[in-house]
Structure 1
């Protein structure tokens, strides 16, 4: 009898702390990556739209959007990490280390750094640290995520619980500023808004006003674009209430909506944490608001760092995150904590 050639994916009992997973199918990104990204989202940040604008800011040309690079790197990990996931739960210690340019080839590898079986005995949480590398074996980004994965053999013994200690937030010293970045001659007119680093105050909240209704076709196109094969995004038999919208789709939509009020928060350089608070399904209208959590100067000329909380919702009043019970309100879809670079 011939062995099966198809791969059902890993289940919770198939992981061990210390496993190193080298993910298949490298991806060479092209200008088409940007065009599709901007077709899927109302992305308008000037540094990612114009080679001339990027060159005026000290870069050789316009990079691929930071989140587009993240999605490519993330998508590679899905067949080995979250093919049989119930949900992606959170992120920490994410750093963008090098810009990604048209023509770069990206691949991913992950290390299992934690395991915890859930009390129901049917699922468990897998923690991985993922690195994205380019064709020169340079690490362009790394991050930690944790995901709830189904068990196949419910009788498989629970592994020893290992929950990694992770930073609650990156410090400004942890952030890597792209070589040559210089906002001294930043053109605020071309960028779309006059607001600079000094115009934002810690504790300030910003309602981004606009909304976008999520459609089935666009979220499945996005998920295929990033080569994310998680079954819950395509197969209704896994989530009869609807195809679960890829969390990265919600992140990119909220980030694009944040342009209205944060047009000059140009480059994402750090991901402190993130939670997909409630599932998102087609037909829901995503809106977004932000809160300024921290600010820091950098050594790069004219460049400041700003720490932002980005919240995506499917309705309800802005600036409401959790109820009296400390749990996310049902209309909250995403709670993302990130560092961005902004002209001073």
Structure 2
């Protein structure tokens, strides 16, 4: 079966969208399917405002027409950017059915930067996803939230962890005073890293990653250890070196880093919000509005038990679940055009 996945986010970007579809390409291929990822690389792009490292296509229609010259067996639109919009338009014009996914709380991200009311941006997002046969979101909490905003066809589609890479092992990657409290991810305003940097904790705080807020935060918090960007395949030793993985974000739909940390045996401290409340089980971490208390309590958890709790999340099962969600979306004539 030929499956086409359209995404505005792709390598060399480092984020959950890219990793999710990279793993899906691998696992769907292992299941015997032909997978084509349509992305902006190799074409003319411009930097996304406030995120110049995220490149947006300036010729999405041409790219989509070439990629979808022949109808695929399944079409999934992963993002709401220029390529996603062009793929949506192309599919509706031909009466093709498709699925979409909701990876990013874009309305909240916009609101954090320019204070546009959430309802305005959710109206645009709802219009984008309305023709989709299923809007795939990573947790039940996220699905409930989307349905509250009028996304009636929202469905749960979970995430996995690469257990060949992220597993317990040596914890000597960092020579810093313990306990070590760590965050790994994009350094941007919506990640709420100030809340982590300001915690009154013993030992060391470490931030791994890069992003538009790094220079400012590094100047503001010189006692935090800023390690910069690290290749995804080389993160496991850092996860293992940490005593607690601290996740201060209140706007993530999932947080793949949560599963990766737990798979390495490192307990999580986070707020009880969408993402952590579904991903972090009891004994896998501590969720509290008092993030300092959560960090201190997480130090007492059994690392072997934490790792065991993450072993049920496999990318192969995630791929099978994706196929199940796609099973009724054939590229045939339909009434979807009227839903645009």
> Shorter-chain-normalised TM-score: which range?
under 0.3
Q: Which has the higher strand share?
A: 1
The TM-score with structure 1 as length reference comes to: 0.27
Q: Which has the higher helix share?
A: 2
